[in-house]
Structure 1
């Protein structure tokens, strides 16, 4: 009697599974039905649990019946699952069907980043007056970044609050490597391997521990160097004045050179600029640091300071870009907001 009752109940379960799988409208409802029949606490599992109370011969006989029923339900499940997956794929393909008769969508026109646009503009101006554009590594040695530029050990510029030092050491002098704090190391690299006259500009990324509306821990600089037997501070004033007039496309601006201090130049000056028209009219703006190259620096280049002299200057590309395009916050440059970047296309 027990075996006949179990066989009958099992047939009912198979019929019920077939009907429930047939009525499943999507994959989610089908998987719910699967759990009801084949899950850990499903109906088929309940039948297998009853085998524990049967004799060995009955277990063997009923086990075959239960396994066949389970395989039948699993086969129905696989067939229904494949059917639903095909239907869902067909529906998705139908919704995503491409109408080849529609006109093409225009490609979005990209633009050069404002800072890179400024850099290209500056390079073009200085190339037109005989300067060479050079580039180099952003990870620098202590010698190139500080010592050769007349900044000995203990100089404030070496402070951990200003400079990103690396754990790696420079194998030549056993001092740590660092992320360059200016592009002046390229002056050292070039001047020690080339004979005067030297006329170069070195644009690139630089790094200092600073971050606010007008400072960034990563920023861009462009530095210039001219060394020869006859160049003077007067050449610096003339070249930089004409550069700014070309860059801003404005002859109606004034410059002043304020005495200052930099370890790598002597005498040194801060260069301020004032527009004589427009929204920034009448306001002095600090634009660059400059000066006559210090004799110690020329000596570190491997040159004779009694024979050669020169001038150097350094300007922040972000500052020049902000002034040219009227940008108030330096952080806009690095937020990757297309609403901002698409405003400056020309």
Structure 2
């Protein structure tokens, strides 16, 4: 007898017959074989291995059989289910291999075909020039230093012997971020030169100091062909025993030759900077300039003012040093005959390619 909860009539056990099970296996095998791809195979899987598949219905009918018949019926149902499952897995493996082969075939790239390998852009010339300068000074034993772009006025001015009434501290040249407040001796500014990094270096290092500080600086200039409120500088600092102007001149000669070629000459013209004494302007002689041979101003330099050394806790009676600062943007313009600084910031990807700086 069947239990009251059994929905099957003990006399109706058609799915359990050997013929029905064999037919279910054959139907599943045929359906799986006809599946053209993995998606089609997955769509028909439930018809032969799902809860309402013939083999699963046959498994549920085992409960309606007499105890003596259940064991034999269970073996036949399990054998049929295993055969269907094996057929499914076999077909799945075949279709997976075919799919992989199809991907390899359809997505194969013929590397022998001609192709346009032209780049759509390049590294910016200012970054390349910065790397070139950095590589040269690192090879000479310098360390590369970085500092914040927003500085207290003390680092940007006072420590560099630029007094409170110096013209460079007026709104005409400097972007002021925050004014001095109670409890704070100086306001905050966007650094006007990377010389402030030299102050950080002297405060945190013991001589000898050989450091290079490339970076972005800010001044309240109008944008035109030769000016920008945001530009790039590289500044060098040496503090050691016995440093003289001769060391500075030799360093700048090597610097200029690395940037502009072995035939370039330099000269130092007397000048004035609060943070160096004596001070000089560095000029570079371009014999093959497009407008004819001429001297072109490149940057400023000089011996570190003893007051700057004292402000940083270095004894000027024991140590001396030199410092120099050049515009990286200016170096790019001189090296590649760029006449308009705005070309370097317009974002035209053709610009570095036109300079031949895509390496």
Distance 1:280 1:255 in 2: 18
**8 Å Cα contact 1:259/1:268 also seen in 2:** yes
Q: What value does the CA root-mean-square deviation take over the aligned residues?
A: 2.1
Give the structure-1-normalised TM-score.
0.67
Q: 1:231 aligns with which of 240, 243, 255?
A: 243
- Structure 1 135/280 Cα, relative in aligned 2: closer, same or farther at 3 Å? farther
- Structure 1 306/323 Cα, relative in aligned 2: closer, same or farther at 3 Å? same
1:85-122 alpha-carbon deviations (Å, 9 max, x no partner): xxxxxxxxxxxxxx968979868454210111100000
Q: 2:254 aligns with which of 238, 242, 245?
A: 242
Distance 1:166 1:247 in 2: 35
Instruction: Give the number of aligned pairs.
Output: 247
**8 Å Cα contact 1:274/1:281 also seen in 2:** no
SS class of match (2:162): coil
Do residues 215 (structure 1) and 204 (structure 2) align?
Answer: no
Counterpart of 1:18 in structure 2 is none
Q: 1:281 offset after TM fit, Å?
A: 4.5
SS class of match (1:284): strand
Q: 2:267 aligns with which of 241, 247, 256?
A: 256
1:134-160 alpha-carbon deviations (Å, 9 max, x no partner): 111100011100000001111111010
Counterpart of 2:333 in structure 1 is 322
Give the structure-2-normalised TM-score.
0.65
SS class of match (2:154): helix
Counterpart of 2:157 in structure 1 is 146
Do residues 343 (structure 1) and 357 (structure 2) align?
Answer: no
Instruction: Give 5+ residue unaligned stretches, structure 1.
Output: 1-98
Q: 1:170 offset after TM fit, Å?
A: 7.2
Q: 1:127 offset after TM fit, Å?
A: 0.7
Do residues 293 (structure 1) and 317 (structure 2) align?
Answer: no
**8 Å Cα contact 2:168/2:174 also seen in 1:** yes
**8 Å Cα contact 2:120/2:349 also seen in 1:** no
- Structure 1 321/105 Cα, relative in aligned 2: closer, same or farther at 3 Å? closer
Distance 1:181 1:256 in 2: 25
Runs (4+) of structure 1 moved beyond 2 Å?
99-110, 167-175, 276-281
Instruction: Give 5+ residue unaligned stretches, structure 2.
Output: 1-105
Counterpart of 1:92 in structure 2 is none
**8 Å Cα contact 1:272/1:284 also seen in 2:** yes
- Structure 1 145/111 Cα, relative in aligned 2: closer, same or farther at 3 Å? same
